């Protein structure tokens, strides 16, 4: 029996790199374009679940029979969402908020196949060191914050800001590997 086509519903190069670590290479990369605006009174975990599920559903609808993997990462400080910063000024503001504080990263991962969608949400607690204005300015100048929830990437220069992490390091990067492999195996997908 032929293996079904495997589609990654994300343009994130980090997610492709993480999949490669566990010997999974998508046959196709097809990002889903959905509205990512949080709903009123939606928790970070609920938002991560809904966005991952919606992205998987949109792409699966276009490719019946394929195995579709989608994910979304939500950074929150209390009940406040820190989405992708629109510009350097907003990125600096987010980093000031996170400086010296604990925050949570919720990553939802969804697998759609044969009309079903399975989702897992992984919560990781991250503590950044107290950041000086010079450190914030230098990091913002790198541009590494662009396209990243919370305006930082743990796998880049901002990794030096992370004082403590409790949970899944790959989930903070955008894809919890244990849960991803488990979901894929649950639909019968076998790694290369």
Of 27, 35, 72, 144, the catalytic one is 72
DSSP bridge pairs for 107: 73, 122
72 is catalytic: yes
| Neighbour tally for 156: CB within 10 Å | 16
Which residues in 82-111 are b (16+ Cβ under 10 Å) and which e?
A: bbbbeebebbbebbebbbeeebbbbbbbbb
Q: What phi, psi does 102 have (nearest 5°)? A: -85, 140
**Is residue 17 classed exposed, middle or buried when 0-12, 13-18 and 19+ CB atoms within 10 A define those classes?**
middle
Contact 175, 19 (CB under 8 A): yes
H or E segment at 38?
none
Q: Residue 10: which of 42, 34, 46, 37 has the closest Cα?
A: 34
Positions marked active-site: 72
């Amino acid at each position: 029996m032929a293996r079904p086509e495997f589609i990654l519903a994300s343009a994130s190069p980090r997610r492709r790199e993480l999949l490669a670590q566990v010997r999974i290479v998508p046959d196709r990369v097809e990002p889903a374009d959905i509205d990512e605006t949080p709903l009123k009174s939606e928790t970070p975990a609920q938002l991560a679940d809904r966005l991952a599920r919606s992205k998987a559903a949109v792409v699966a609808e276009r490719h019946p029979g394929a195995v579709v993997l989608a994910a979304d990462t939500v950074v929150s400080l209390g009940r406040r969402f820190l989405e992708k910063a629109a510009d350097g000024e907003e990125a600096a503001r987010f980093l000031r908020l996170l400086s010296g504080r604990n925050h949570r990263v919720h990553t939802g991962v969804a697998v759609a196949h044969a009309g079903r969608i399975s989702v897992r949400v992984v919560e990781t607690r991250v503590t950044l060191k107290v950041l000086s204005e010079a450190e914030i300015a230098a990091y913002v100048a790198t541009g590494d914050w662009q396209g990243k929830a919370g305006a930082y990437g743990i796998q880049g220069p901002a990794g030096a800001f992370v004082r403590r992490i409790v949970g899944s390091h790959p989930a903070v990067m955008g894809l919890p590997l244990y849960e991803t492999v488990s979901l894929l195996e649950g639909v019968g997908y076998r790694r290369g």
